[in-house]
Amino acid sequence: MREAALDHEAFTMRLKACELPKCRATCCHDGALLTDEEMTGIGEAVEGHRDLLASYGWTAEHYLTMAGRQGRTVTLEAGDEALEEDFPPHFPKTRCVFLDPEHRCILQRLAMDTAQHPWWWKPVSCWMHPLLLRPPAGSERPLLTLARPGQDPAAEDGYPGFGSCTPCGVEVADGLPAWQTLRPELELLGKISGRDLVRELGEGEDRAKRIDGAINR
């Protein structure tokens, strides 16, 4: 991430922040792939806080599984009443085992109630969403970007994509530029990588506006 290029054009997309009562955690429908470190951390968090989790009404015994050689969170079948009104038809009707009835992340609740950063136990792919760090191609740098229709890396035949289809990744006319909407995610990512990503993206947008103004003058 420290050496990643920024897709300034993508971050001008207008997005809205999560509205859980409306989106019902659509981005969590298929669970999350996990690193070995995340598997261990989540397991220790759950087993070390069973009483607190039970007070939330969460008592799952089977919550981690394997997808080939990679760990992932378990998913549960979901009825239409648990899904958003415009739930993408190509998404499986499932929900991550770590969602509560109000569509909140149990791991985030646990972190907040134990005086940790809200995303302390949350998988990186979860708290970063809908941000994408595209791996380098050849000699190019990694690219921090957003999925867009026609440019969604998860897309394949019969599956239009993932990030470009979740409510927090779909462009809306009354949203703010993505670099503003996703400020909390960018700030944490910047802290980890030693960069001020919000400033870099904001300056990039200002520079683009000045260039457009000069061209159209």
Same structural domain for residues 93 and 116?
A: yes
* SS3 (DSSP) at 132: strand
Beta strands in 111-155 (DSSP E): 131-134, 143-146
Rounded CA-CA distance 123/120 in Å is 8
Same structural domain for residues 83 and 169?
A: no
Q: Domain for residue 155, yes or no?
A: no
Rounded CA-CA distance 31/113 in Å is 22
Same structural domain for residues 196 and 179?
A: yes
pLDDT of residue 138: 78
Same structural domain for residues 125 and 35?
A: yes
State the residue range of the domain holding 40. Answer: 22-129
pLDDT of residue 70: 95
DSSP symbol at 142:
P
Rounded CA-CA distance 66/124 in Å is 17
pLDDT of residue 204: 67
pLDDT of residue 206: 63
Q: Domain for residue 156, yes or no?
A: no
Q: Domain for residue 215, yes or no?
A: no
pLDDT of residue 150: 92
Q: Domain for residue 169, yes or no?
A: yes
pLDDT of residue 131: 98
pLDDT of residue 213: 52
Same structural domain for residues 191 and 96?
A: no
Q: Domain for residue 38, yes or no?
A: yes
pLDDT of residue 139: 74
Same structural domain for residues 51 and 120?
A: yes
Same structural domain for residues 142 and 47?
A: no
Same structural domain for residues 11 and 26?
A: no
Same structural domain for residues 10 and 75?
A: no
Tokens encoding 31? 């669970």
Q: Domain for residue 92, yes or no?
A: yes
* The pLDDT of residue 207 is above 70: no
Same structural domain for residues 120 and 86?
A: yes
What is the tens place of the pLDDT at every residue in 60-114? Answer: 999 999 999 999 999 999 999 999 999 999 999 999 999 999 999 999 999 999 9
Same structural domain for residues 12 and 26?
A: no
Same structural domain for residues 114 and 188?
A: no
What is the tens place of the pLDDT at every residue in 24-66? Answer: 999 999 999 999 999 999 999 999 999 999 999 999 999 999 9
**Structural domains counted in the chain:** 2
Q: Domain for residue 217, yes or no?
A: no
Nearest to 182 by CA among 158, 206, 201, 154: 201
Q: Domain for residue 27, yes or no?
A: yes
